[in-house]
Amino acid sequence: TQLLEQSPQFLSIQEGENLTVYCNSSSVFSSLQWYRQEPGEGPVLLVTVVTGGEVKKLKRLTFQFGDARKDSSLHITAAQPGDTGLYLCAGPAGGGTSYGKLTFGQGTILTVHP
Partner 1 sequence: DTEVTQTPKHLVMGMTNKKSLKCEQHMGHRAMYWYKQKAKKPPELMFVYSYEKLSINESVPSRFSPECPNSSLLNLHLHALQPEDSALYLCASSQGATDTQYFGPGTRLTVL
Beta strands 108-113; 85-92: pairing state: antiparallel
CB 104 within 8 A of CB 93: no
Among 1, 26, 40, 59, binds partner 1 (CB under 8 A): 40
Among 1, 26, 96, 100, binds partner 1 (CB under 8 A): 100
Q: Which stretch binds partner 1 (CB under 8 A): 18-26, 36-44, 56-64, 68-76?
A: 36-44
Q: Considering beta carbons, is residue 79 or 89 the nearer one to partner 1? A: 89
Q: Choose which of 1, 26, 42, 82 interacts with partner 1 (CB under 8 A).
A: 42
Least distance between partner 1 and beta carbon 63 (Å): 13
SS3 81: helix
DSSP, res 98: G
For 74-100, letters b (16+ CB in 10 Å) and e give bbbeebeeebbbebbbbbbbbeeeeee
For partner 1, which stretch binds (CB under 8 A), given 13-21, 54-62, 71-79, 95-103? Answer: 95-103
